[in-house]
Chain A
Amino acid sequence: MSITAINQQLLRAIGVGIAVVRGDDFQFVFSNAPFADWFGKPDPGSPLQDVLHDIDMDGVRAALDQTGRYSGEISVKLKRRTLVIALSISGADEETNDLFVVECQNITRIRELESMIDSYSSMVERNTRELEREKERVERLLLNLMPRTVYEEFKTFGVVTPQLYESVSVVMLDFVDFTRFSTNHDPTVTLGELNDIFTAFDRIAEQFGCERIKTIGDAYLAVAGMPEPSPDHMRAVANCAVRFIRYLERRNQSHQYKWEARIGLGTGSAVGSVVGIQKYVYDVFGSAVNLAARLQAFANPMCVVAPDSMKEFLVEEFHLDDLGKQEIRSFGEMRLMRISPGIELARKAGRF
Chain B
Amino acid sequence: MSKALFDKYGGFKSVSRVVMAFYDKILDSDQVGDYFDDIDMPKLIDHQTKFISSLLGGPVSYSDERLRRAHASLDLTHEDFDEVSRLLSETLAEHDFTPQDIDTVISEIEARRTCILSTGRS
Contact = CB atoms under 8 A, between A and B. Distances in A.
Contact of B12 (A79, A82, A120): A120
Contact of A116 (B19, B27, B37): B19
A120 B33 contact: no
A111 to B, nearest CB: 7
Interface string A114-128: 011011100110110
A119 B49 contact: yes
A104 B36 CA distance: 25
A112 B17 CA distance: 12
Interface string A210-240: 0000000000000000000000000000000
B53 A112 contact: no
B37 to A, nearest CB: 5
A80 interface: yes
Given A80-B34, A120-B49, A115 B42 contact: yes
A134 to B, nearest CB: 13
Interface of A, helix, strand, loop or mixed by DSSP:
helix
Interface in A62-82: 79-82
Contact of B33 (A80, A112, A123, A126): A80
Contacts of B53: 120, 123
Nearest to B53: A123
Interface string A94-120: 000000000000000101110110111
A123 B37 contact: no
A116 B16 contact: yes
B50 A116 contact: no
A111 B41 contact: yes
B45 A116 contact: yes
B50 A80 contact: no
A111 B42 CA distance: 8
B2 to A, nearest CB: 17
A81 B27 contact: yes
Given A123-B59, A127-B59, A116 B20 contact: yes
Interface of A: 79-82, 109, 111-113, 115-116, 118-120, 123-124, 126-127
6 residue pairs, one from A and one from B, having the closest CB atoms: A115-B42, A119-B46, A119-B49, A115-B45, A123-B60, A127-B59
Interface of B: 12, 16, 19-20, 23, 27, 33-34, 36-37, 41-42, 45-46, 49-50, 53, 58-60
11 contacts: A80-B27, A80-B36, A80-B37, A111-B41, A112-B23, A113-B16, A113-B20, A118-B42, A120-B16, A120-B53, A123-B50
Given A111-B41, A120-B12, 10 more contacts: A80-B27, A80-B36, A109-B20, A115-B42, A115-B45, A119-B42, A119-B49, A120-B53, A123-B50, A123-B53
